[in-house]
Structure 1
Amino acid sequence: MDSCCGPEDPHRYDAVFDERFSGAIARRYGRKGLRPAEQHIVDFLTGMGIEDASVLEVGGGVGEIQLELLKRGAARAVNLELSAGYERDAARLLGDAGLLSRVDRRLGVDLAEAPDDVEPADVVVLHRVVCCYPDYEKLLGAAAEHARRALVFSYPPANVFSRVFIRSMNALIGASNLSFRGYIHSPKAMLDVVRSRGLEPAYHWSGPLWRVVGAARL
């Protein structure tokens, strides 16, 4: 795992995932809907049965996955976010969908560092999150322990292309004196963490940029 800022830097995400970044994601979702990896996450959870379920999403950004799960029958959702840049677009999307009352967006709550501050949920989602966090074991372990029924997460493939991209991205970010870093964690090690918390991987999808794993409670 590459060296990086530690959890003690509370602003490392705000500087990268700002309102401009959020706006681009929200506009793309409004025009084209979910991207392939997001669609597979929603399909996996819908296939398991999402009716009346509670959803906990860690780092859900503008909340497009939550929106789609709520439209498909989920009862409510909690979003944990470490960057304030998404809040305006997330509120607009929820308002447009008439779902503001069914989502609790909590800013500044780090599940890995404060797991007792967050209630468990039927399903837990981490999309494009584990690769942004230095301690995958702590984050995935806390997420798995909060999942009553299922956990689904995505990560970039551990191949040469991804490693070169992450190193280049980190170099550019470091040159800007920002503390955020990206990571390529071991897929096997991440699956071992999930299994150690009583969840068994039951779904795998591989795309060119992302891998998706869905795991169910034994």
Structure 2
Amino acid sequence: MTGCCDPRGYDATFTPRFAHRLARRYRRRGLDRLSAQVVQRCVDHGIEGATVLEIGGGVGSLHLELLRRGAATATNLELAGTYEHDAAELLAEAGLTDRVQCRLLDLATDPDGVESADVVVLNRVVCCYPDLAGLLGAAAGHARRLVVLTYPRPSVVTRAILVAENAVEALFGRTYRAFAHPPEEILAVLRAHGLEPAPDRRGGLWCLVSATRAPVPGTSAA
């Protein structure tokens, strides 16, 4: 994909070959550890019958697993069109094509382009987008009950990885860049949109945070 949704070169970095490798790995091994933890966090908060909006879902393995665990439908928003073929194949193999909508849409610039959902997921996504408040704010605003996201844990190691990654992108003339958004800003955006994030007690290179919205008085929290 080129044009309005890809001014930062996502297609050049997340190539069809990269997408095919992700799909092949999922077929052989299932979800990676972090993605599995995201799925479990969603399940722990209640996924049965829920609608899911995944931002940057790639080939769709994560929301496929949420559907298998009881979610009703899912929408996958992507900025890179390179995942489309493999995502469609995985959906067809799982028999879930009619329960997932895949779209090319920049939620930060077109927040009215998609409906709200019960659960919004951003796995390894906010570090790929420069406008944290725009993207995460729009995502939080679309969540009726829950947002689950992951982002790089601040450390010397993660900063070095991002610097090296961006250096490689520049070396090959690509415009994509990764970002280390401050955790306090991430949590502030969630709170500003009426969500209360739970503390992340995990170790490792990634933070996993879930943020819940208090039910409106007189309505069910289901």
Normalised-by-shorter TM-score class: over 0.9
RMSD: 1.4
Higher relative contact order (CA 8 A, sep 6+): 1
In the alignment, what sits opposite 1:55?
Answer: 52
Cα distance 1:129–1:217, how it changes in 2: closer, same or farther (>3 A)? same
* Counterpart among 72, 79, 84 of residue 75 in structure 1: 72
Question: How many positions carry a matched residue from both structures?
Answer: 211
Cα distance 1:37–1:15, how it changes in 2: closer, same or farther (>3 A)? same
Query: What is the CA–CA distance in structure 1 between the aligned matches of 2:179 and 2:95, rounded to whole Å?
Result: 36
In the alignment, what sits opposite 2:85?
Answer: 88
TM-score, normalising length: structure 2:
0.91
Q: What letter matches 2:140 in structure 1?
A: A
Q: For residues 1-60 of structure 1, what are the alpha-carbon distances to aligned partners after superposition, in whole Å with 9 as ceiling and x for unaligned?
A: xxxxxx885351000111111111111111111111111111111111111110000000
Q: For residues 62-103 of structure 1, what are the alpha-carbon distances to aligned partners after superposition, in whole Å with 9 as ceiling and x for unaligned?
A: 101110010011110000011111111111111000000000
* Structure 1: runs of 5+ lacking an equivalent: 1-6
In the alignment, what sits opposite 1:17?
Answer: 14
Query: What is the CA–CA distance in structure 1 between the aligned matches of 2:13 and 2:178, rounded to whole Å?
Result: 11
* Counterpart among 38, 42, 56 of residue 41 in structure 1: 38
Query: What is the CA–CA distance in structure 2 between the aligned matches of 1:28 and 1:50, rounded to whole Å?
Result: 25
Cα displacement (A) at 1:209:
2.7
Q: Secondary structure at the match of 1:14?
A: helix
TM-score, normalising length: structure 1:
0.93
What percent identity do the matched residue pairs reach?
52
Cα displacement (A) at 1:206:
2.7
Query: What is the CA–CA distance in structure 1 between the aligned matches of 2:194 and 2:181, rounded to whole Å?
Result: 21
In the alignment, what sits opposite 2:153?
Answer: 157
Question: Once superposed, which parts of structure 1, at least 4 consecutive aligned residues long, lie more than 4 Å away?
Answer: none
In the alignment, what sits opposite 1:3?
Answer: none
Query: What is the CA–CA distance in structure 2 between the aligned matches of 1:122 and 1:191, rounded to whole Å?
Result: 19
Q: How does 1:1-218 map to 2 (within 5 A)?
A: 10=7, 12-107=9-104, 109-202=105-198, 204=200, 206-218=202-214
Cα displacement (A) at 1:181:
0.2
* Structure 2: runs of 5+ lacking an equivalent: 215-222
